[in-house]
Chains A and B, each alone.
Chain A
Amino acid sequence: MFIGAMITGALVFGIWPEMWKSYGIMGGWLSAVIIIGLCWFMNHWLGLFSNPDGKIWIDQGMPIASAGIAWAIVRFGADFTDCLPTFFLLIIGGILGGIAAYYVKQHNPNFKT
């Protein structure tokens, strides 16, 4: 899990910023296809991330988030405390989205197994 997370974090912040700077919105969109798609294949399809049945899902978004913070601190000397507002607001947003998705999956017949 550690190696998969490390490569994912490195790929996202090594490639993505340069792609959007060079090719604009299309570069950023294309980065998602290249990086997120390939990393998903490695981490979740081939199973580098251990997600046993019946357990809580650990997503590759987690290393991407921690890599973004570490990358900016090391590269630009950013102050860690400055990211906390966005950090906590996104956690609130993620919880809201997760709860909404849970209720939709419980009640929508397309998700009945």
Chain B
Amino acid sequence: MTTKFQLPNPKLLTGIALCVVFTLSVCLAAPCLADTTDPKTQSLAFDTVTNQLILTETGETLITDPAKQPSALAVWLGTYNPTLGMCNASIFTTIFGGAFVAFFIAICWGKLVEIYGAAGGLFGGGVIVGTFWVINHKLPGIGIAPGGIPHDAGFGIYQYGLIVQAFHGTGPWVDMGLAVCVGLFTMSFLERLRAKKLDPTLPGGAALLSESFPRALSVILGGIAGGAIVGLIGFTGARL
């Protein structure tokens, strides 16, 4: 008995091809993601004659070890690193740190609540958010050097989480909650648009967005007020 060879589903093949391309591009791009620029330093250049990274204003050589010289491609890719306050690798990890937590919460938390009710939601708060906090936001010197380990660049601290705060953490703190709320907003918006396709009597995209705007604004303002109130502790002289 012979079995006829059948090609897999074209959709499955496309999916597999996309996965392969993505994985390969991440691996191959790794050498170009190195930290080639110092954030806030706007005048870096790569001297192709001496093969060295230099400060154009002073002519100072930043990296003298030939083995550690970034490629010209890496320097070119890092054109906007000083503006963004982070290197290429950090840009990449920040985007995917946000995408991971948004996807995980969008998929799992709702199911936990559906199955276990309030207990599932409380469990999800600790297990999902706590675990993703460790991968996204953990800081250097936790429990050992509470202020963080100072960065060699002369300002800010070293960061080890996926989500990198720009300019070595000297800017305001941007929490992964932003990615979560944007992810859930996007997912629920797309779901409603799909429902609208199936049932034209339902509200459309513009109506949904305008309806959500006052709700979003009130929670954003609430967050600003709450954060500012806690921030006032800094004026009491507390050195926590």
Contacts and interface: CB of A to CB of B under 8 A. Distances in A.
Interface of A: 1-14, 17-18, 20-25, 27-41, 44-45, 49-51, 54-76, 78-87, 89-102, 104-106, 110
A37 B127 CA distance: 9
B131 A29 contact: yes
21 contacts: A1-B218, A1-B219, A6-B229, A9-B226, A29-B133, A30-B126, A54-B202, A56-B209, A59-B177, A61-B180, A61-B184, A71-B172, A74-B231, A76-B234, A82-B166, A83-B174, A86-B86, A86-B164, A87-B178, A97-B99, A102-B187
B189 interface: yes
Given A75-B231, A83-B166, A94-B180, A8 B125 contact: no
B121 interface: yes
Contacts of A7: 226
A72 B215 contact: no
Interface of B is mostly: helix
Contacts of A35: 125
Contacts, number: 372
Given A20-B139, A55-B192, A62-B219, A32 B231 contact: no
A101 B232 CA distance: 38
Given A73-B228, A99-B186, 17 more contacts: A6-B225, A13-B226, A37-B121, A40-B122, A49-B215, A56-B211, A60-B219, A63-B220, A69-B224, A71-B231, A82-B170, A89-B91, A90-B95, A94-B179, A96-B102, A101-B103, A102-B186
B171 A101 contact: no
B97 interface: yes
B230 A71 contact: yes
A24 B124 contact: no
A87 B130 CA distance: 21
Interface residues of B, number: 96
B143 A97 contact: no
Nearest to A76: B234
Interface of A is mostly: helix
A109 B89 CA distance: 36
Contact of A98 (B83, B184, B225): B184
Contacts of B167: 82
Contact of A97 (B91, B100, B138): B100
A101 B137 contact: no
Which of the listed residues B86, B191, B202 has the most CB atoms from chain A within 10 Å of its own CB? Answer: B191
Nearest to B107: A101
B223 interface: yes
Given A40-B125, A62-B177, A65-B174, A91 B224 contact: no
B125 A105 contact: no
